[in-house]
Amino acid sequence: MKRLVSGIKPTGELTLGNYIGALKNFVQLQNELEDTEFFIFIADLHAITTMQEKSNLRKNIKNIAAIYIACGLDPNKVNLFIQSEVNEHAELGYVMESTLYIGEMERMIQYKEKRANNEEAIRTSLLTYPALMAADILLYDASIVPIGEDQTQHLEITKVAATRFNHLYGETFTIPSGFTPKTGARIMGLQDPTKKMSKSADKTPKDYILLLDDLNQVRNKIKSAITDSDNKIYFDKENKPGISNLLTIYSSLTNIKIDDLVAKYENISYGEFKSDLAEIVVSELSVIQERYKEIIGKKELDLYLDKGRENAKRVASRKLKKVYERIGLGRK
């Protein structure tokens, strides 16, 4: 039986970027892959690499759990759980810190970027973050890890950690592969299409679409997305980042190839294109929002998270025990 692992940090409300780059692919893989066990979690330990207000953190954790289900993950097929409730993640995270080198951590782009924005109070865990992410994946011997493009470097370091550990202590971990969508692995901001759409960076709300945004606001955000003035629709990431980003969103949500969209919208104005796209996004989000309302606050949500935690713990504790034995920690 193969295993798939992925997680999302509860650092804010989820965006269309999270949906296209990650969530939508979790659902697609759930429906396509056979003989695969799914472990999808809420990465709350990762969230505290930066300051989180307590009540927001709690709210965001539950919110992501409900969004997972609202987007189409079937909690009877997929193990949904909260990372901090399976203590093996933190414990193997420490072992991974003792496997990876500081130089390797310091090379991580996400660390360097976040550090550049906040020179003063950088938490140590922001640097060691990839060690915890490696633990998240290796605890379950995951062979497939669906992620957006910004996480590929972290997945690479996970492979380094697994290979090094196997070499030092004998075959212990499966080397994982990333699954990144061909289109939509990096959705850009609507106001600044040269930067990633993000839920936690300091941005104007018009730059991102939240999955739970009011649908009229969604329409307005798409209509006021920054585009160039040449009024021709074609894909050119360098020179036309705005329109290229909108084409990517359109293509990801409809599965229509970008080339076919370009042909369809030849000689059509940006305004009309944006209106069509707005309706496509709205119809996708309205289904998610309906299901979200049905599940949030319900007792079932906790029961699913309990069941997910137990299943995750069973696998994770066995693995951690084996790791400790391999290293020579403790007495047996």
Q: Residue 2 in 3-state DSSP?
A: strand
Q: Name which of 227, 222, 221 is nearest 206 in CA terms.
A: 221
78: which strand partners?
Answer: 38
Quote the CA–CA distance of 21 and 28 in Å, as a whole number: 12
Rule CB under 6 A: which of 40-99 touch ligand ATP?
43
Assess 185 for contact with ligand ATP (CB under 6 A): yes
Q: Residue 146 in 3-state DSSP?
A: strand
Which one of 3, 4, 9, 173 is in contact with ligand ATP (CB under 6 A)?
Answer: 9
* Residues acting as catalytic residues: 114, 196, 199
Q: Name which of 8, 74, 87, 88 is nearest 41 in CA terms.
A: 8
Number of residues near ligand LTN (by CB under 6 A): 13
CB of 13 to ligand LTN, least distance (A): 15
Which one of 4, 5, 8, 209 is in contact with ligand ATP (CB under 6 A)?
Answer: 8
Assess 14 for contact with ligand LTN (CB under 6 A): no
Q: Name which of 319, 325, 287 is nearest 173 in CA terms.
A: 319
Quote the CA–CA distance of 44 and 42 in Å, as a whole number: 6
Q: Which does 137 bind (CB under 5 to 8 A by kind): ligand ATP, ligand LTN, none?
A: ligand LTN
Of the pair 64, 70, the CB lying nearest ligand LTN is at 64
Assess 5 for contact with ligand LTN (CB under 6 A): yes
One DSSP character per residue, 241-261 reads HHHHHHHHHHHHHH---HHHH
Assess 7 for contact with ligand LTN (CB under 6 A): yes
Of the pair 69, 145, the CB lying nearest ligand LTN is at 145
- Site mask, ligand LTN, residues 36-75, x = CB under 6 A? -------x--x-----------------------------
CB of 7 to ligand LTN, least distance (A): 4
Quote the CA–CA distance of 320 and 159 in Å, as a whole number: 18
Rule CB under 6 A: which of 189-228 touch ligand ATP?
196-201
Rule CB under 6 A: which of 152-171 touch ligand LTN?
154
Assess 274 for contact with ligand ATP (CB under 6 A): no
CB of 301 to ligand LTN, least distance (A): 21
Burial (CB < 10 A; 0-12, 13-18, 19+), residue 299, is: exposed
Of the pair 67, 246, the CB lying nearest ligand LTN is at 67
Quote the CA–CA distance of 244 and 188 in Å, as a whole number: 10
CB of 25 to ligand ATP, least distance (A): 9
Which letter, b or e, does each residue of 221-259 get, where b requires 16 or more Cβ atoms within 10 Å of its Cβ?
A: bbeebbbeeeeebbeeeeebbbbbbbbbbbbbbeeeebe
Q: Which residues of the shown chain bind ligand ATP in the complex (CB under 6 A)?
A: 8-9, 11, 17-18, 20-22, 43, 147-148, 150-151, 185-187, 196-201
Site residues, ligand LTN (CB under 6 A) = 5-7, 9, 43, 46, 133, 136-137, 145, 147, 151, 154
